[in-house]
A and B are shown apart, each in its own frame.
Chain A
């Protein structure tokens, strides 16, 4: 029986192994098997991974110091700063074994300890690489109201079209074009820029593109991505298994949730039906009435309410104007056994 210490060692070994360049799909499968073998494995793995990810935050601190050379605020004992360890003498430089031995004794790796030091400031070596983890929480926000639609032009030439009741935050810099889809749905026409990936963050997921056209819709339990041109990659932002990423090309409709990504391959025209909202139209195909009504309610402040669940289970099809809820309801009453109660605050559908 494995002890928890042994499990912890194994988890650490897996984490470092995953960092190797040669990590491939069969390694991935092995890791998945090990994680699935026991919850104790998974829990140990999460614990170590979480801590290791936190260590990455030190990057930001180091970068901040290197940039302006100023002091970071420290504690009473002095300044708690990571000091860059001195580079060791490379063992390969000197072929003379005798000299090598002498050097090894004299030039042991010395890494100064900072804790408790009363030194006021330490300068980090200029060679410290700036960490891009220290992402400033900024960018421009855009929101649409219920029933609204807006097109936003970005500085890189990309366009984002926001659907009803949606919100995004946009931030561009030298290495990345970043958008956070905070709410609702948006269509992206991404200008080609191979040096700067276009990354959309939606909750737990990330959608990454180079030069494509795609839409993302944010739902309570999942994210829906439709690609109409080019290719996007959809991945979980904190994957405990790297193979969770999915590559979707034109015609693909993907649903990404906590469990993974499910991709449907459709014809381009079928996929584009999911984008008809840009023309103010919504398309239903054998859609449950309850779903169709929920969809309409996204676009209108006066909501439609189905009183009888049996009614909601009926299926409908057709093209409808998103802003014409009354028209939609009248068509329904013609085709189905429905009595419409038209109130000031909402529309109620009763079963006849």
Chain B
């Protein structure tokens, strides 16, 4: 039985987030756009897959990202001296070296543990009680003597961090490394 689109998406596409982000970062020179580009690529892939499941998810993902960047370039009226994107690399199919499914699974736990470790103390505590001790949000709130809303805020923050860590950790670190001396174009 074919799995649901959502399950396929999280298994076959999110897997390549770090490679995707690296590709986007290398090709598109506006650091601020990367997050949006990534999500827009996901939207296009998801919608296309809803019509027909691509047989080669990774290629499809990268091709979609490439087309998205091309589209944005075409639509952009401002031609600046410093190119907004590396046009040449758009035309080249970059075959990213990306980890096998098995390797990712092994890396996952270490990445998660590291991400857990790097959470701010209160956040980490809430995540521990909620996700590892399996207490309800209400119970966590009661035990810590804080409101449920505060607990929810911590969890929401943790969710975003874990997603970034799990899918894009390597990509994000790479961005941080590259960001230092580069001149940023003002919009």
Contact = CB atoms under 8 A, between A and B. Distances in A.
Interface of B is mostly: helix
Contacts of B167: 47, 51
B46 A43 contact: yes
Give the most central of A87, A92, A111, A219: most B CB within 10 Å. A111
B14 interface: yes
Interface string B142-157: 0111001000100111
A39 interface: yes
Contacts of B47: 39
Interface stretch (B93-101, B131-139, B177-185): B131-139
Nearest to A19: B137
A85 B124 contact: yes
Interface centre among B40, B46, B160, B167 (most CB of A within 10 A): B160
A75 interface: yes
Interface string A254-269: 0001100000000000
Of B132, B148, B152, chain A has the most CB atoms within 10 Å of the CB of B132
A203 B3 CA distance: 8
Nearest to A87: B143
Contact of B163 (A47, A127, A131): A47
A323 interface: no
Nearest to B17: A47
A57 B108 contact: yes
Interface stretch (B19-27, B56-64, B66-74, B111-119): B111-119
Contacts of A75: 110
B5 interface: yes
Nearest to B119: A111
Contacts, number: 175
A114 B7 CA distance: 33
Contacts of B40: 4, 40
B60 to A, nearest CB: 15
Given A52-B162, A129-B133, A15 B156 contact: yes
B42 A43 contact: yes
A82 B132 contact: yes
Contacts of B5: 258
A115 B134 contact: no
Nearest to B149: A16
A46 B156 contact: no
A13 to B, nearest CB: 6
Contacts of A240: 6
A47 B113 contact: no
Contact of B35 (A4, A52, A90): A4
20 contacts: A4-B38, A12-B160, A40-B43, A43-B9, A48-B160, A49-B10, A50-B163, A51-B159, A51-B163, A55-B112, A61-B113, A62-B132, A80-B113, A82-B113, A82-B117, A84-B128, A92-B145, A109-B121, A113-B117, A114-B113
Counting from the closest, the 5 A-B pairs by CB-CB distance are: A12-B156, A51-B163, A203-B1, A50-B10, A4-B39
Given A47-B14, A113-B117, 8 more contacts: A17-B152, A58-B109, A82-B116, A109-B122, A111-B125, A203-B1, A238-B7, A258-B2
